[in-house]
Amino acid sequence: MRAVIYFCAVLHCWLSWLAVAASGIHLGYYRPNCQGTETIMKQQTKQTGIPRRTCILLALGLAVLAAILVWAIGGVGQQETPYTSTSVAMGTYVQQTIYGDQGEEAAAQAVQAISGLEDKISWRIEDSDVARLNEAAGSDWIQVDEETVSLLSLCLDVAEKSNGAFDPTILPLSALWDFGGDNQQLPSEEQIEEFRSYVNWQNLRIDTENQEASLKNRLNALDLGAAGKGAACDAAIDAYKQAGVNSAVVSVGGSVGLLGMPSGKNSWAVAVRDPLTALEDGQSTSLGTLSLQEGYLSTSGIYERYFEQDGVFYHHILDPKTGYPVENDLASVTVVCQNGALSDILSTACFVLGREEGAALLAEYGASGLFVTKDRHVYITPGLAESFTLEAQDYTVVTLEE
Ligand code: AMP
Ligand code: MG
């Protein structure tokens, strides 16, 4: 049925162009799209001197051919060129692809929404909610924005369910290691022992009713780096919806938000980065493709920020229990669910927990994921197995049990 409608639409368009060309009458509403075609057709008729009837038959034949061609190329339905934009926020790239007339406006609104969020949740930005909370640690309760409270309560929920593997009060440790920063270093054992004792999610308290939060001890401090990029995807998708967009994709660092369907297709194809080639030569080759409908996904990987010292590799995902980078068989974890912030928080939590406990945590949230190991295995939760197509060589895909 769709094919028939599509065919008729293309045919109708071509016949209309033809009518315009043959009669010499310019129908205002066809002109913007058809001017070029119209001019060419007129010139050809003049140069060759072909009779008008032959010309009409020829054009009809061409119309049929074009309809078949466009149908074959376009897959299901019509494809359109999206509006694309790249900008920088949260210390990473924000890439947007938006279908529909409102693309440019919606992209600008999303950029604004992401920067508004960053101004609330970045500990580096003076006067942000998080900076004020860190500053007032051990003393006052602080009034914060609704968006901050809801992100903090999601963080606390996962902190509790992951038994502290995910800990939003990680800043004393993350700042000590300072991966990717000017003071990146291997701290002494004594320093790690001391700073580890300041990390405790149970010291973060929130009052959702009064939109307040507080940190119990003076040296507690928040770092929402493991949640922010996913939350930024939520903010962008909300901005698209408000702008009336119904098909778009946004990526902020390792997090992606998908709205609706891409034009002319019935799923999005999202490439998952091969964490080992990313590590070996900094290249961005694809591990495989996830074919997804509307939703969010985030990846945590050892290739994001790391350094080597005395032949030992240190990466930025820390185990709050030891104070050191997580040591397990994982190279990356990708989580898919219906909330951007949650996908980001869970990808970090699952990385720390490892494959088995991580998969159990995903099940608690109705989320799916894939765990990529350093020995080139891709363990995938059953909900995602059908959607994943492996592209990289030397990997083996294993579907996890329910
Ligand atoms: P992601 O790339 O989303 O996994 O986030 C990693 C970032 O989150 C790090 O650079 C730290 O700022 C922070 N982080 C590291 N380890 C943890 C952890 N166990 N819990 C919460 N945040 C963490
Ligand atoms: Mg994360």
Choosing from 124, 170, 372 the residue with most ligand 1 atoms within 8 A of its CB, the one to mutate for a pocket test is: 170
DSSP per-residue codes, 324-338: SB--SSEEEEEEEES
* pLDDT on residue 82: 95
pLDDT digits (tens, 9 = 90+) for 112-130: 999 999 999 999 999 999 9
Which ligand is closest in space to the CA of residue 352? 1
Question: Treating both helix axes as pointing N-terminal to C-terminal, what angle do 340-353 and 355-364 enclose, rounded to 10 degrees?
Answer: 150
* pLDDT on residue 59: 47
Contact 156, 204 (CB under 8 A): yes
Give the residue from 228, 260, 246 showing the smallest Cα distance to 130: 228
Indicate if 392 and 280 belong to the same structural domain.
yes
pLDDT digits (tens, 9 = 90+) for 92-108: 999 999 999 999 999 99
235 falls within a domain: no
Question: Which neighbouring-strand residues pair with 255?
Answer: 252, 298
Give the residue from 174, 182, 181 showing the smallest Cα distance to 198: 174
pLDDT at position 62 over 60: no
Residue nearest to atom 5 of ligand 1 (CA): 226
Kindly report the CATH number assigned to the domain that includes residue 205: 1.10.3980.10
Q: Which residue range is the domain that position 136 belongs to?
A: 123-215
Indicate the residue among 74, 91, 112 that finishes a domain: 74
Q: pTM for this structure?
A: 0.82
Split at pLDDT 50, 70, 90, the class of 321 is very high
Pocket around ligand 1 at a 6 A CB cut-off: 166-168, 170, 174, 179, 223, 225-226, 254, 300, 304, 316-318, 320, 344, 347-348, 352
Structural domains of the chain, count: 3
Indicate if 271 and 392 belong to the same structural domain.
yes
304 falls within a domain: yes
The CA 318 to ligand 1 mean position distance, Å, reads 7
Contact 114, 90 (CB under 8 A): yes
Question: Treating both helix axes as pointing N-terminal to C-terminal, what angle do 146-161 and 228-242 enclose, rounded to 10 degrees?
Answer: 130
Amino acid of residue 69? L
CA distance linking residue 180 with residue 118, whole number of Å: 19
The CA 105 to ligand 1 mean position distance, Å, reads 33
The CA 310 to ligand 1 mean position distance, Å, reads 24
Indicate if 63 and 174 belong to the same structural domain.
no
pLDDT at position 79 over 50: yes
238 falls within a domain: no
CA distance linking residue 204 with residue 142, whole number of Å: 12
* Average of per-residue pLDDT across 50-56: 48
254 falls within a domain: no
Choosing from 184, 204, 318, 335 the residue with most ligand 1 atoms within 8 A of its CB, the one to mutate for a pocket test is: 318
DSSP per-residue codes, 15-54: HHHHHHHHH----GGGHHHHHHHHHHHHHHHHHH---HHH
Amino acid of residue 190? E
Give the position, in ligand 1's atom list, of the atom nearest the Cα of 254. Answer: 2
Indicate if 66 and 134 belong to the same structural domain.
no
Burial of 397 (0-12, 13-18, 19+ CB in 10 A): middle
Please provide the average confidence, as pLDDT, over all residues in the chain: 84
365 falls within a domain: yes
Give the position, in ligand 1's atom list, of the atom nearest the Cα of 347. Answer: 4
Indicate if 12 and 133 belong to the same structural domain.
no
Split at pLDDT 50, 70, 90, the class of 283 is confident
DSSP per-residue codes, 350-366: HHHH-HHHHHHHHHHTT
DSSP per-residue codes, 171-220: HHHHHHH-TTSTT-----HHHHHHHHTT--GGGEEEETTTTEEEESSTT-
How close are the terminal C-alpha atoms of the chain, in Å?
39
111 falls within a domain: no
The CA 224 to ligand 1 mean position distance, Å, reads 8
Indicate if 271 and 375 belong to the same structural domain.
yes
Indicate the residue among 35, 56, 74 that finishes a domain: 74
* pLDDT on residue 78: 56
Indicate if 63 and 134 belong to the same structural domain.
no
pLDDT at position 51 over 70: no
CA distance linking residue 220 with residue 230, whole number of Å: 24
Indicate if 284 and 357 belong to the same structural domain.
yes
Indicate if 283 and 359 belong to the same structural domain.
yes
> CA-CA distances (angstroms) from residue 288 to 181, 265, 270?
31, 19, 8
The CA 36 to ligand 1 mean position distance, Å, reads 54
Kindly report the CATH number assigned to the domain that includes residue 283: 3.10.520.10
Indicate if 363 and 280 belong to the same structural domain.
yes
140 falls within a domain: yes
Indicate if 208 and 271 belong to the same structural domain.
no
The CA 39 to ligand 1 mean position distance, Å, reads 60
Split at pLDDT 50, 70, 90, the class of 264 is confident
Indicate if 278 and 169 belong to the same structural domain.
no
161 falls within a domain: yes
217 or 284, higher pLDDT: 217
